[in-house]
């Protein structure tokens, strides 16, 4: 078997992108999901609709707007460039921003569902037992939402690994920088390099299946059952 | 004597609470009312889980809420223990970790009760390593009470802790509550819609109706007030007597209890001589005789009484309530016809015959 024909670089970039994106998503997604689960505000439905937009928009539409926003004259790219001197568009950092937005609903929705299922009742019990709001969040709400976190992590990770349109538009296709597996496969097929395409596609397929298998098996064994 | 003082006004769409209260910060204070009367909201206000925009609350010397000074002590800084209707045990923790949750969060010098003491008091040792989901409803409530006690609270708030339990489980929990009242010097506020369930516990009674408190005071005083008789429903109109077990007549299945210098026969109770026991005398079970009958009767309980007050008569109804002094104030319900026939007047010396004495647990309702 000749492994030398596999181009490892896109694989590492893809994994790096997915890990960083999921970390950022969990960090940002948790407070958003928490707010959506508990706010009585009328603004909630508006925020929910915005969060869900990437689910229905064609990736090219999102990619197009992101490209403009991240560009040298864009609302994000402009200030970034004047501070750091480098461009966000066609960079790895730009890719992280794009992936974060694109996978946002896949992380926020499971978390919101988990927080809503646990409700406020257990938090009240924790407060009455001397736990501050932060303490109650970390010692009661988040452990009770552990299934939600697992689902959010896996979906966010898998969705980032699987994206194509947005990364192509925002990241370009720069080998060693922004070229991820899905784009590498596309390139191989274009160049009629079917055996390389087979290796990458088969690998991605196997990887995705194993991850899902582990998650479903693990999910059944988790002790928390909240009706 | 120091007190708990509160003033809460909360306006929701379907419901409002508007109460001003002052009650002793010792013993068991029962907040009694129908569902929707605002009793749970009142308890949540006391706990700090609801915030009345103009509210005020003082516990002994410490003010926990005074909106005029913009002061509001958040829940987790109040030295309270709260037990909810549904036990709300944390499902991701074992019973032991549930019990330790609050205990670990108070500084060691504030711990007035140990894990072992609580486990003994609530009989929790066999449950410690189990998950809350695997416990029966009664066991869950015992853990919830234990968990609250382990924060060494200065005020214990109970929100219908027996409401979700069947009659048998209620019987299982009640002795623990009675033990709690006896062994810990801890003021308790107990919300319920079932007076029978708390008759052995209650010291002070707060009667809540449509968001307003209609009466506050020592339980027997409130229960024997004629103007409130119609408001508590026929199955609870009556009085509570605090008695002592004086002896048993096992061959007849009777127990004799004493209060002041009077005694009453009640169905036999599994209690030692000298034990305190509260009995509930339902007004509908008490009738009046003008003198001790010359002819033998089957009535065992005959108490000399003075008529204190005659309640308002409803021209459409057939009955009327009387307030009698039998050493303690009690109520009796008789027919208007008897009232006229016997020419009863306040101040008259009569005899009250007690047909039955309801024990706690038997009366449900309102």
B195 found inside a domain: yes
**B76/A131 Cβ within 8 A:** yes
| pLDDT for B328 beyond 60 | yes
Helix axes A146-162, A181-190, angle to 10 degrees: 30
- Give the pLDDT band (50/70/90) at residue A227: very low
B85 found inside a domain: yes
Q: Helix, strand, coil proportions of chain A in percent (round to 5)?
A: 80, 0, 20
CA B144 remoteness from chain centre = 20
pLDDT given at position A96: 92
Distance in angstroms (rounded) separating the CA atoms of residues A146 and B92: 10
pLDDT given at position A173: 79
Q: Are B199 and B305 in contact (CB under 8 A)?
A: no
Residue B206: which of B184, B221, B187, B226 has the closest Cα? B221
**B82/A125 Cβ within 8 A:** yes
From chain A, pick out residues whose CB is under 8 angstroms from the CB of B133. Answer: 225
| pLDDT for B302 beyond 50 | yes
pLDDT given at position B365: 30
Of B291 and A96, more confident: A96
Nearest CB to B82; choose among A128, A133, A143: A128
| pLDDT for B132 beyond 50 | yes
Place of tokens 């308002």: B312
Q: What percent of chain B has pLDDT over 90?
A: 43
Dihedral angle, C-alpha B37, B43, B46, B48, nearest 10 ° = -110
B258 found inside a domain: no
How many residues would you count in chain B?
Answer: 366
pLDDT given at position B233: 57
Give me the CATH number covering residue B326.
2.40.50.100
From chain B, pick out residues whose CB is under 8 angstroms from the CB of A132. Answer: 76
pLDDT given at position B165: 78
**B131/A144 Cβ within 8 A:** no
Q: Is residue B161 located within the same domain as residue B289?
A: no
| pLDDT for A224 beyond 70 | no
The overall average pLDDT reported for chain B is 87
B144 found inside a domain: yes
Distance in angstroms (rounded) separating the CA atoms of residues A200 and A188: 10
B237 found inside a domain: no
pLDDT per residue as tens digits for the range A56-86? 989 889 889 988 888 888 888 888 888 888 8
Distance in angstroms (rounded) separating the CA atoms of residues B334 and B310: 11
Q: Are A89 and A75 in contact (CB under 8 A)?
A: no
Q: Is B201 helix (H, G, I), strand (E, B) or coil?
A: coil
pLDDT per residue as tens digits for the range A137-153? 999 999 999 989 988 99
- Give the pLDDT band (50/70/90) at residue B90: very high
Host domain of residue B287: 279-354
Distances (CA, A) of B91 to A118, A139, A227, B98, B266: 10, 12, 10, 9, 45
Give me the CATH number covering residue B16.
3.40.50.300
pLDDT per residue as tens digits for the range A95-114? 999 999 999 999 999 999 99
The residue in chain A having the minimum alpha-carbon distance to the alpha carbon of residue B47 is A128
Domain boundary among B219, B241, B265: B219
Distance in angstroms (rounded) separating the CA atoms of residues B363 and A53: 59
Work out the burial of residue B280: count CB atoms within 10 Å of its CB; fewer than 13 is exposed, 13-18 middle, 19 or more buried. buried
Q: Which token pair is A177?
A: 């920088």
Interface residue of B41, B43, B76, B106 to substitute, partner A, most A CBs within 10 Å: B76
Q: Which token pair is B225?
A: 């007030």
Distance in angstroms (rounded) separating the CA atoms of residues A219 and A206: 20
B105 found inside a domain: yes
pLDDT per residue as tens digits for the range A42-53? 999 999 999 999
Work out the burial of residue B303: count CB atoms within 10 Å of its CB; fewer than 13 is exposed, 13-18 middle, 19 or more buried. buried
Interface residue of B90, B100, B131 to substitute, partner A, most A CBs within 10 Å: B90
pLDDT per residue as tens digits for the range B10-39? 988 788 899 999 999 988 999 998 888 899
The partner residues of B333 in beta bridges, in order of sequence, read B321
From chain A, pick out residues whose CB is under 8 angstroms from the CB of B101. Answer: 126, 129, 131, 139
Distance in angstroms (rounded) separating the CA atoms of residues B34 and B365: 9
Distances (CA, A) of A104 to A21, B66, B289: 10, 43, 82
Distances (CA, A) of B189 to A214, B175, B231: 50, 17, 21
Distance in angstroms (rounded) separating the CA atoms of residues B119 and A212: 43
Distances (CA, A) of B102 to A86, A146, B173, B277: 52, 22, 22, 34
Most trustworthy range by pLDDT among A66-70, B127-131, B356-360? B127-131
Q: Is B307 helix (H, G, I), strand (E, B) or coil?
A: strand
Query: From the CB of residue B290, how many other CB atoms can be counted at a distance below 10 Å?
Result: 12
Sheet holding B276-282, edge to edge: B262-267, B254-259, B238-249, B276-282
The torsion region of residue B2 among left (phi > 0), alpha (psi -120 to 50) and beta comes to beta
A126-155 residues touching B, CB cutoff 8 A: 126-133, 135-136, 139-140, 143-144, 146
Span B107-130, average pLDDT: 91
Ordered by start, the domain boundaries in chain A are 3-221
The overall average pLDDT reported for chain A is 87
Distance in angstroms (rounded) separating the CA atoms of residues A156 and A154: 5
Q: Is residue B33 located within the same domain as residue B173?
A: yes
Q: Is residue B12 located within the same domain as residue B133?
A: yes
**B148/A128 Cβ within 8 A:** yes
Distance in Å, alpha carbon of A130 to nearest chain B alpha carbon: 4
pTM here? 0.82
Q: Which token pair is B364?
A: 């449900």
Domain boundary among B192, B219, B246: B219
Most trustworthy range by pLDDT among A15-29, A206-220, B249-263? A15-29
Of B173 and B46, more confident: B46
| pLDDT for B169 beyond 80 | no
Q: Which token pair is A34?
A: 């928490």
Distance in Å, alpha carbon of B309 to nearest chain A alpha carbon: 46
B339 found inside a domain: yes
Helix axes A8-38, A181-190, angle to 10 degrees: 140
pLDDT per residue as tens digits for the range A181-194? 888 889 889 888 89
pLDDT given at position B229: 67
pLDDT per residue as tens digits for the range B50-66? 999 999 999 999 999 99
pLDDT given at position A7: 76
Q: Report yes or no for ipTM above 0.85.
A: no
B167 found inside a domain: yes
* Count: domains in chain B: 2
Number of H helices, E strands in chain A: 12, 0
Span A123-135, average pLDDT: 96
The residue in chain A having the minimum alpha-carbon distance to the alpha carbon of residue B147 is A129
pLDDT given at position A20: 95
- Give the pLDDT band (50/70/90) at residue B206: very high
Distance in angstroms (rounded) separating the CA atoms of residues A189 and A195: 9
pLDDT given at position A1: 53
Lowest mean pLDDT among A84-88, B18-22, B122-126, B200-204: A84-88
Q: Provide long-range contacts, Cβ within 8 A and 24+ apart, for A176-180.
A: A176/A9, A176/A13, A177/A13, A177/A90, A177/A91, A177/A92, A178/A13, A178/A90, A178/A91, A178/A92, A178/A94, A178/A95, A179/A9, A179/A10, A179/A13, A180/A10, A180/A13, A180/A14, A180/A17, A180/A95
Q: Are B239 and B280 in contact (CB under 8 A)?
A: yes
Instruction: Give the CATH fold of the A3-221 domain.
Output: MetI-like fold (1.10.3720)
Helix axes A92-118, A146-162, angle to 10 degrees: 150
Work out the burial of residue A13: count CB atoms within 10 Å of its CB; fewer than 13 is exposed, 13-18 middle, 19 or more buried. buried
pLDDT given at position A2: 60
Of B268 and B81, more confident: B81
DSSP letters spanning B141-154: HHHHHHHHHTT--S
pLDDT per residue as tens digits for the range B223-240? 877 777 666 555 567 788
How many residues would you count in chain A?
Answer: 227
């Amino acid at each position: 078997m000749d492994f030398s024909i596999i181009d490892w670089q896109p694989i590492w970039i893809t994994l790096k992108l997915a890990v960083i994106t999921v970390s950022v998503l969990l960090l940002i997604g948790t407070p958003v999901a928490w707010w959506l689960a508990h706010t009585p505000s009328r603004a909630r439905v508006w925020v929910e609709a915005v969060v869900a937009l990437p689910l229905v928009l064609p990736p090219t539409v999102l990619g197009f707007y992101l490209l403009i926003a991240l560009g040298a004259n864009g609302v994000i790219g402009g200030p970034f460039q004047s501070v750091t001197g480098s461009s966000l568009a066609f960079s790895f950092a730009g890719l992280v921003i794009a992936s974060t937005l694109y996978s946002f609903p896949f992380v926020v929705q499971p978390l919101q569902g988990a927080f809503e299922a646990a409700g406020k009742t257990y938090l009240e019990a924790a407060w009455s037992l001397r736990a501050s709001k932060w303490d109650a969040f970390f010692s009661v709400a988040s452990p009770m939402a552990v299934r939600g976190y697992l689902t959010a992590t896996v979906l966010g990770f898998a969705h980032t690994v699987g994206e194509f349109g947005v990364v192509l538009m925002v990241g370009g296709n720069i080998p060693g920088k922004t070229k991820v597996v899905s784009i590498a496969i596309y390139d191989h097929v274009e160049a009629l390099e079917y055996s390389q395409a087979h290796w990458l596609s088969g690998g991605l397929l196997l990887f995705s299946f194993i991850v899902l298998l582990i998650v479903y098996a693990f999910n059944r064994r988790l002790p928390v059952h909240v009706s | 004597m120091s007190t708990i003082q509160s003033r809460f006004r909360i306006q929701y769409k379907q419901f409002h609470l508007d109460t001003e209260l002052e009650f002793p910060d010792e013993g068991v204070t029962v907040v009694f009312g129908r569902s929707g009367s605002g009793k749970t909201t009142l308890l949540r206000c006391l706990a700090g889980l609801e915030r009345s925009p103009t509210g005020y609350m003082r516990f002994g010397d410490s003010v926990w809420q005074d909106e005029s000074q913009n002061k509001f002590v958040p829940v987790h800084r109040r030295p309270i223990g709260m037990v909810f209707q549904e036990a709300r045990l944390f499902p991701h923790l074992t019973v032991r970790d549930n019990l330790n949750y609050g205990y670990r969060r108070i500084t060691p010098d504030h711990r007035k009760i140990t894990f072992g003491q609580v486990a003994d008091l609530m009989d929790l040792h066999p449950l410690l390593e189990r998950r809350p989901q695997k416990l029966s409803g009664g066991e869950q409530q015992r853990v919830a009470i234990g968990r609250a006690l382990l924060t060494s609270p200065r005020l214990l708030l109970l929100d219908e802790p027996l409401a979700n339990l069947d009659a048998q489980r209620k019987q299982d929990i009640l002795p623990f509550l009675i033990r709690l009242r006896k062994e810990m010097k801890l003021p308790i506020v107990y919300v319920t819609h079932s007076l029978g369930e708390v008759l052995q516990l209650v010291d002070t009674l707060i009667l809540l109706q449509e968001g307003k408190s209609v009466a506050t005071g020592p339980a027997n005083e409130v229960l024997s007030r004629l103007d409130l008789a119609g408001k508590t429903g026929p199955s609870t109109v009556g009085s509570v007597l605090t008695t002592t077990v004086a002896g048993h007549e096992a061959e007849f299945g009777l127990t004799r209890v004493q209060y002041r210098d009077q005694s009453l026969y009640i169905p036999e109770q599994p209690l030692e001589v000298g034990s305190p026991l509260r009995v509930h005398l339902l007004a509908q079970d008490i009738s009046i005789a003008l003198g001790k009958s010359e002819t033998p009767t089957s009535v065992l309980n005959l108490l000399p009484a003075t008529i204190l007050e005659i309640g308002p008569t409803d021209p459409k109804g057939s009955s009327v309530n009387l307030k009698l002094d039998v050493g303690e104030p009690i109520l009796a319900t008789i027919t208007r016809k008897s009232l006229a026939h016997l020419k009863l007047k306040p101040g008259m010396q009569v005899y009250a015959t007690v047909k039955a004495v309801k024990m706690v647990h038997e009366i449900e309702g309102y």
